[in-house]
Amino acid sequence: MRTRLFPEQARNRLFHAAPIALTSPGGYIGRLRVSRDESAEVIEFEVDVAPATSTLLLHWRAFAVAPIGLVVFALHQFGRAKRRASTATEE
């Protein structure tokens, strides 16, 4: 994969940036060639890409609140109805 770096894509005007899509997890080796006038250097680096996490797994706490609340409410109502029935039969 080859790409060019542009200063327009960087947030800091002193840097250059380019988007790179790494679609599969694993280790990648990158080579960055920097040149100015007639001199050039190559920098090699390694990047470890982790597998993407599911949106549901990231926000499971938020999604769990509603079902837990419904279960607690149902148990409360069941216990309350049971108490009402027992007090009605005692009278």
pLDDT digits (tens, 9 = 90+) for 49-74: 988 877 778 888 888 889 999 999 99
pLDDT of residue 42: 92
How far is Cα 80 from Cα 62, in angstroms, rounded to an integer? 28
Is pLDDT of 90 > 70? no
pLDDT digits (tens, 9 = 90+) for 27-37: 999 888 888 88
Side-chain half-sphere CA neighbours of 45 within 13 A:
5
pTM of the model: 0.46
Report the residue count for the chain.
Answer: 91
